[in-house]
Structure 1
Amino acid sequence: MVSNPVRPLPALPAELRAHLPAELRGLRRDGVRLMVVDRAAQSIRHSRFIELGSFLRRPDGWAAPARQDGGMSDGPKRLAGTVAMVTGASRGLGRALAIAFAREGAALALCARGIPALDEVANAVAGLGADVHEPGSAETPSAGRSFSWELLFELRRHGVQLADIVLHTGLSSLQDDAVDAEHPLFEEWFGVTANAAEAVNRAPRVIAVGTTVVRALETAAGRDGQVSATEGWTRLRLEAGSPLRVVDGLLTGFHEPQASHFDLLRAFLHEPLLERAYREAMTARYLWHEFGDLCLIL
Structure 2
Amino acid sequence: MAAIKALDFYLPDELNASHPPEKRGLRRDHVRMMVLDRTTGEIKHDHFFHLADYLQPGDLVILNNSRTIPAVLQAKWRRDTNQLAPKVEIRLARRRGEDTWDALIVANPVKTGDILQFSPELAATVIGEKENSPLKLIHFSKKGTDLFNIIYDLGEPIRYEYIEQPWELDYYQTVFACHPGSVEMPSAGRAFSWELLFELKRKDIQVDFIQLHTGLSYLLDDSLVQTPEDNDEEYQISDRTMERIIQTKASGKKVIAVGTTVVRALETAAKNEALSGMTNLYIDQHFPIKIADGIITGLHEPKASHLDMLSAFISEQNLLKAYDQAIGAGYLWHEFGDMNLII
TM-score (normalizing by structure 2): 0.62
Match of 1:231 among 264, 271, 276: 276
What secondary structure does 1:243 align onto?
coil
Runs of 4+ in structure 1 deviating by more than 4 angstroms, as ranges, are 84-87, 181-185
What secondary structure does 2:181 align onto?
coil
TM-score (normalizing by structure 1): 0.71
Pair 187,283 (structure 1): closer, same or farther in 2 beyond 3 Å: same
Give how far 1:8 is off. Answer: 6.6
Pair 33,185 (structure 1): closer, same or farther in 2 beyond 3 Å: farther
Q: What's 1:69 paired with?
A: none
Cα pair 2:41 2:314 within 8 Å, conserved: no
Pair 154,117 (structure 1): closer, same or farther in 2 beyond 3 Å: closer
Cα pair 1:197 1:229 within 8 Å, conserved: no
Match of 2:256 among 177, 188, 207: 207
Pair 13,240 (structure 1): closer, same or farther in 2 beyond 3 Å: same
Give how far 1:184 is off. Answer: 7.2
Pair 35,117 (structure 1): closer, same or farther in 2 beyond 3 Å: closer
Cα pair 2:228 2:281 within 8 Å, conserved: no
CA distance in 2, matches of 1:40, 1:221: 23
Compare 167-176 and 252-261 and name the one that shifted more. 167-176
Pair 281,265 (structure 1): closer, same or farther in 2 beyond 3 Å: same
Give how far 1:26 is off. Answer: 0.6
What secondary structure does 1:164 align onto?
strand
How many residue pairs match? The answer is 234
Give how far 1:12 is off. Answer: 1.1
What secondary structure does 2:22 align onto?
helix
Q: What's 1:75 paired with?
A: none
CA distance in 1, matches of 2:180, 2:188: 19
1:1-298 to structure 2, matched below 5 A, reads 9-59=8-58, 114-116=142-144, 118=146, 133-180=178-225, 186-203=231-248, 204-222=253-271, 230-298=275-343
What percentage of aligned pairs have identical amino acids? 46
Give the number of the structure whose residues are more often strand, by fraction: 2
What is the one-letter code of the residue matched to 1:49? F
Pair 182,202 (structure 1): closer, same or farther in 2 beyond 3 Å: closer
Give the number of the structure whose residues are more often helix, by fraction: 1
CA distance in 2, matches of 1:258, 1:216: 22
What secondary structure does 2:33 align onto?
strand
What is the one-letter code of the residue matched to 1:207? I
Give how far 1:171 is off. Answer: 2.1
CA distance in 1, matches of 2:311, 2:69: 39
Question: Which structure carries more relative contact order (alpha carbon 8 Å, separation 6+)?
Answer: 2
Compare 166-175 and 260-269 and name the one that shifted more. 166-175
CA distance in 2, matches of 1:199, 1:182: 31
Gaps of 5+ in 2: 61-66, 71-120, 123-141, 150-175
Pair 119,27 (structure 1): closer, same or farther in 2 beyond 3 Å: same
CA distance in 1, matches of 2:218, 2:246: 32
CA RMSD of aligned residues (A): 3.0
What secondary structure does 2:261 align onto?
helix
CA distance in 2, matches of 1:49, 1:116: 36
What is the one-letter code of the residue matched to 1:36? V
Pair 230,26 (structure 1): closer, same or farther in 2 beyond 3 Å: same
Q: What's 2:81 paired with?
A: none
